[in-house]
Amino acid sequence: MTRVYDLPTRFFHWLFAGCFLIAFSIGNWVDDDSVLFSYHMIAGITLCLALIWRLIWGVGGSKHARFSDFLLHPKALFSYLRHSVSGENQRYAGHNPASSWAALVMMLLAICLGITGLLMITGPFDHAIEEIHEFCANAFMLTVVLHLLGIVLHTIKHKDPIGKSMLTGEKQNLPESLTSVPKHTVIAFVYLVFTLSCSTILLKNFDPDSRSTSLFGITLTLSEFEGADENEHDESEEHNSHSKHE
């Protein structure tokens, strides 16, 4: 067995997945006027904090955590899919071409979700931004489903449990010349404690009445900006009143 994924990468993987699942579930099953909907945003903020670290680790982390190790050439993806259909099992120490693309797409979608989510709570309400946010969330979930389906099919067809590598960090039947990557245990736990501490602070400082919280001295309103709708409503009432006087 060869360790291919360090502990920080695995911690990120499960934090990222967990935060998205919580945010997606609340976003689809809880009305946005409910106080509970604010927890959708807290999960989203935690996801973004986790992602910021991963972007840094993708540049300075261990070999298979780096973005430079991702196999993103279209020819590599087509070759991988072709060999998967034909029954040939190609082994990759790090991310295979399909999982490389899945990881990249999910990170880009998460960035878009963070930006649009921020715009929705800080500026005039815009249905176009909300639609982009929802599209990215659904695209993210579709990518997750396809990613999991690919892991299941690979495991069944090739008797190669690649999904376990994000639990143990190890893969089997790799060339003996490959050396295990460092665990980076201290960095992993610093990252985990920092991210979970931020999430805990957001939850602890959450005020249900104002639907706001704070982090690092910054107050965050965890509801959609209603200024535009209120202005439109006031203008409409003023117009109707003026019409009656006439």
154, 84 contact by CB (below 8 A): yes
45, 200 contact by CB (below 8 A): no
133, 117 contact by CB (below 8 A): yes
Tell me if residue 137 falls in helix, strand or coil: helix
Stated pTM of the model: 0.86
180, 194 contact by CB (below 8 A): no
The pair of structure tokens assigned to 160 is 């190669």
Residue 117 sits at φ, ψ, to 5 deg, of -65, -40
Which CATH code is given to the segment(s) 2-245? 1.20.950
The pair of structure tokens assigned to 73 is 């050439």
Sign of CA dihedral 103, 71, 67, 111: negative
Query: Per residue of the chain (246 residues), what is the pLDDT tens digit?
Result: 889 999 999 999 999 999 999 999 999 999 988 999 999 999 999 999 999 999 999 999 999 999 999 999 999 999 888 877 776 777 888 899 999 999 999 999 999 999 999 998 887 767 899 999 999 999 999 999 999 998 898 888 877 788 888 999 998 878 877 889 999 999 999 999 999 999 999 999 999 999 999 999 999 888 876 554 444 444 444 444 444 444
Q: Are strands 212-215 and 170-171 parallel, antiparallel or unpaired?
A: unpaired
Distance CA 233, CA 237 (A): 6
Q: Report DSSP state, residue 219.
A: E
